[in-house]
Amino acid sequence: MELPPYEINGKYKIENQFLFPTALFQIELDDVDNNILTENAYKLYAEDRGIKVSNSGGWHSNFCNFHDKNFKYFEPLTSKFQYILPELPLYPNISKINQMNIWFNLNRRNNIHKRHHHINSDFSGVYYVKVPKEVETEEKEQFIGIDNKMTSIPKKDDCGKIKFFDPRQAISYGNYFYMSRYHRTFDISRMPIEGTMFIFPSGLEHEVLPNSTDEDRISISFNLIVE
Amino acid sequence: MNLHPQIIEGDKYNISHQFLFHTPIFEIQLDDVDNNKLTDIIYQLKEDDKEGMSVSNMGGWHSKFRNENDGAESFDELFENLRYILPLLPFNPNIKELVSIDSWAMINKKGDFNLVHNHLYASDTLRVDLSAVYYVKVPEGDSGNIAFRDPRSVINGNTFVHSRYNNGLEWEHRYPKEGLMYIFPAFLDHMVRPNKTEEDRIAISFNLTVR
Look at residue A173 in the predicted model and tell me its pLDDT.
67
Class of residue A148 by CB neighbours under 10 A (exposed 0-12, middle 13-18, buried 19+): exposed
Angle at A194 between CA A57 and CA B19, to 5 degrees: 90
Query: Which residues does B2 contact at the CB level (< 8 Å), separation at least 6?
Result: none
The Cα A179–Cα A185 span in angstroms is: 7
Cα B110 off chain centre by: 20
> Where does the pLDDT of residue A1 fall: very low under 50, low under 70, confident under 90, or very high at 90 and above?
low
Q: What's the longest Cα–Cα distance across chain A?
A: 69
| First CA to last CA distance, chain B | 18
Choose among B5, B30, B167: nearest Cβ to A91: B167
Query: CA B113, B114, B116, B122: dihedral to nearest 10 degrees?
Result: 180
Residue A174 has pLDDT above 80, yes or no: no
Amino acid identity, position B32? D
Q: Show which of residues 41-70 on chain A sit within 8 Å of chain B, judged by CB atoms.
A: none
Would you call B21 and A22 a contact, using CB atoms and an 8 Å cutoff? yes
Q: What is the DSSP string of B110-135?
A: TT-EEEEE-STTS-SSS---EEEEEE
Position with higher pLDDT, B58 vs A173 = B58
The answer to whether B144 touches B177, Cβ cutoff 8 Å, is: no
The Cα A219–Cα A204 span in angstroms is: 19
Look at residue B154 in the predicted model and tell me its pLDDT.
58
A15 and B CB contact within 8 Å: yes
Q: List residues bridging with A55 in a β-sheet.
A: A113
Would you call B152 and A168 a contact, using CB atoms and an 8 Å cutoff? yes
Look at residue B46 in the predicted model and tell me its pLDDT.
94
| Beta strands B190-192; A135-136: pairing state | unpaired
> Where does the pLDDT of residue B169 fall: very low under 50, low under 70, confident under 90, or very high at 90 and above?
confident
Q: Is the peptide bond before B93 cis (omega within 30 degrees of 0)?
A: yes
Would you call A204 and B12 a contact, using CB atoms and an 8 Å cutoff? no
Residue B57 has pLDDT above 60, yes or no: yes
For residue A106, report the phi and psi dihedrals to the nearest 5 degrees: -125, 110
Would you call A13 and B84 a contact, using CB atoms and an 8 Å cutoff? no
* Residue in chain B lying closest to A170 (CA): B187
Would you call A87 and B30 a contact, using CB atoms and an 8 Å cutoff? no
Q: Is A58 left (phi over 0), alpha (psi -120 to 50) or beta?
A: left
> Where does the pLDDT of residue A171 fall: very low under 50, low under 70, confident under 90, or very high at 90 and above?
low
Would you call B1 and A92 a contact, using CB atoms and an 8 Å cutoff? no
In B, which residues are within 8 Å of A174 by CB distance? 120, 187
Position with higher pLDDT, A120 vs A64 = A64
Class of residue A154 by CB neighbours under 10 A (exposed 0-12, middle 13-18, buried 19+): exposed
Position with higher pLDDT, B160 vs A216 = A216
Query: What average pLDDT does the structure give for chain A?
Result: 92
Query: What average pLDDT does the structure give for chain B?
Result: 91
| First CA to last CA distance, chain A | 19
Look at residue A119 in the predicted model and tell me its pLDDT.
87
Residues in chain A, overall count: 227
In A, which residues are within 8 Å of B155 by CB distance? 203
Would you call B21 and A169 a contact, using CB atoms and an 8 Å cutoff? no
Q: Is B59 left (phi over 0), alpha (psi -120 to 50) or beta?
A: left
Q: List residues bridging with B185 in a β-sheet.
A: B130
Report the gap between the CA of B93 and the closest CA in chain A (Å): 6
The answer to whether A156 touches A190, Cβ cutoff 8 Å, is: no
Write down the ipTM of this complex. Answer: 0.88
Look at residue B155 in the predicted model and tell me its pLDDT.
60
Residue B72 has pLDDT above 70, yes or no: no
In A, which residues are within 8 Å of B85 by CB distance? 10, 12, 14
Would you call A20 and B27 a contact, using CB atoms and an 8 Å cutoff? no
Amino acid identity, position A152? S
> Where does the pLDDT of residue B2 fall: very low under 50, low under 70, confident under 90, or very high at 90 and above?
confident
Choose among A83, A177, A188: nearest Cβ to B129: A177
Residue B156 has pLDDT above 60, yes or no: no
Look at residue A185 in the predicted model and tell me its pLDDT.
85
Position with higher pLDDT, A142 vs A68 = A68
The answer to whether A130 touches A84, Cβ cutoff 8 Å, is: no
Look at residue B149 in the predicted model and tell me its pLDDT.
93
Condensed to tens digits (0 to 9), the pLDDT of residues A110-164 reads: 999 999 999 889 999 999 999 999 988 877 677 766 666 777 776 789 999 999 9
The Cα A82–Cα A224 span in angstroms is: 13
Look at residue B166 in the predicted model and tell me its pLDDT.
81
* Residue in chain A lying closest to B20 (CA): A22
Q: pTM for the complete prediction?
A: 0.91
Mean pLDDT of A182-208: 94
**Selected residue of A81, A90, A182, A189 to mutate for chain B interface (largest B Cβ count, 10 A):** A182
Residue A172 has pLDDT above 80, yes or no: no
The answer to whether A154 touches A139, Cβ cutoff 8 Å, is: yes
Element (H, E) at A124: strand A123-130
Choose among B10, B28, B172: nearest Cβ to A19: B172
Look at residue B124 in the predicted model and tell me its pLDDT.
66
Judged by DSSP in three states, B190 sits in strand
The Cα B92–Cα A67 span in angstroms is: 52
* Residue in chain A lying closest to B129 (CA): A177
Position with higher pLDDT, A61 vs A145 = A61
* Residue in chain B lying closest to A167 (CA): B152
Choose among B11, B13, B88: nearest Cβ to A27: B13
Residue A81 has pLDDT above 80, yes or no: yes
